[in-house]
Chain A
Amino acid sequence: MEIQHKYPGLEVVNVGQPVGTPQAVILEQLERFSTQVMPAFQ
């Protein structure tokens, strides 16, 4: 939310895990982000 106020023209954000993150962790984290963080922006 903070970044949204700071940059009012920003419409697109990328989130993710770095090189080295196993598939299972990437999938778990992206799923959690989609259900626990993304709804706050809609």
Chain B
Amino acid sequence: MITKFGSLFAGHVDLDNEGLDGTAANERWLSDERLAEVFPKSEAIARLMDRTGYDTFWLAEHHFQREGYECIPNILMLALHLCHITRNIKIGCGFNIAPMWHPLRMAEDYATADWLTGGRVIFGVGRGYHTREVEVFGAPLRDQDANRELFEEQVEIIFKSFNERAFSHQGKYYTLPPQVPYRGYELSEITLVPRPKTLPVECWQPVVSASPRALDFMAKHGIKGIIGGGAAPGGANEKVVHAFREARARAGRETKLGGDLCIGFSFHIADSVEQGIKEATPFFEENIKMFAPLGFVPGLTAEQIDAVADPKRARQAGLPTLRNAIKAGTWLVGPPELITE
């Protein structure tokens, strides 16, 4: 039974000239002042969600996005601030990208936020998907196997540091602690200071590849999953939901179908479906411009992806429409009673 509603804000500022005919994504280069508008925008959303009964306001970590699409580099820092200007709403890390962090730095920062907010920050980890972000920080992304291997070792370390009063770790990427002398003894274990106030730590991760390896890793650590793109009957996500439960069962945890998962939808409430399509299409199209070249719009040809970057050709490229997305169940558009159904 659905009891909690959240919303994810990846950190875009208000943009001019949107849509397929508008400014090409790579032509956007906003001023520092415009990019920093993400902070008052985040405050306004958090305050509204706090007042209106939402459970969690999710933020996304991204870097170097001069285009204005995803402009929050440090979501733990912003989460701390938002908790201090609101009363009840939780702030979710959706997600901290582990390969761009030292795992112990992430663990420390989360634990600090957990203490300072009384448990209102929700932990979340991801592997990343922007080469401009992950590889700039010196971690692999184009080599997906290396990225996953690094990520899994980092998460192992983070959970050890959360759950064990003192710990050590020896892996491919990290030896923690290094064997060094310290105040008259040889270092063999370390303690995270502070450890989180709230143990065990609730952790969320995006379900993207949904490979057995990925789902088994999540099940092993009890990591909950967030799935974007709705829940259309017979759609790809239906298989993912079943695979997620099967992985949980392999780890000895029986759940009802959909348990430990969060499913995400885009929505636009309007007096009619047609009115909703008219109002939301520019935002839908801007989203295509942002994500198609990153491979997140399935089914596009190379020619279509190329055309997305050209406002003169994009409209004629046969790109997906909001009407397609409604039919596929990834968007809910129309009167509130239709969305409720």
Contact = CB atoms under 8 A, between A and B. Distances in A.
Do the two shown chains form a genuine complex with each other? yes
A19 B56 CA distance: 19
B174 interface: no
Contacts of B55: 12
A19 B290 CA distance: 8
Given A6-B231, A18-B283, A19-B287, A12 B48 contact: no
A18 B45 contact: no
A41 B2 CA distance: 7
A20 B264 contact: no
Contacts of A11: 1-4, 258-259
- Binding site secondary structure of chain B: mixed
A15 B264 contact: yes
B69 to A, nearest CB: 5
Contacts of A32: 269, 336
B265 interface: yes
B265 A19 contact: no
Contacts of B58: 14
Interface in A1-42: 1-4, 6-23, 25-27, 29-38, 40-41
A3 B255 contact: no
A9 B284 contact: no
A10 B267 contact: no
A25 to B, nearest CB: 7
A3 B231 contact: yes
B283 A21 contact: yes
Contacts of B14: 22-23
A27 B267 contact: no
A22 B257 CA distance: 35
Given A9-B256, A31-B52, A15 B267 contact: yes
A33 B267 contact: yes
A36 B286 contact: no
A38 B4 CA distance: 9
A13 to B, nearest CB: 5
B230 to A, nearest CB: 8
Contact of B262 (A12, A17, A38): A12
Contacts of A20: 12, 15, 18, 282-287, 290
Given A8-B257, A23-B44, A13 B262 contact: yes
Given A2-B341, A7-B257, A7-B258, A14 B10 contact: no
Contact of A30 (B48, B260, B263, B291): B48
A33 to B, nearest CB: 6
B37 to A, nearest CB: 8
Contact of B2 (A12, A16, A17): A12
Contacts of B268: 17, 29
Interface of A: 1-4, 6-23, 25-27, 29-38, 40-41
6 contacts: A3-B231, A4-B1, A7-B258, A18-B283, A30-B49, A38-B5
Interface of B: 1-10, 12, 14-15, 18, 41, 44-45, 48-49, 52-56, 58, 69-70, 226, 228, 231, 233, 241, 245, 255-269, 279-280, 282-287, 290-291, 332, 336, 339-341
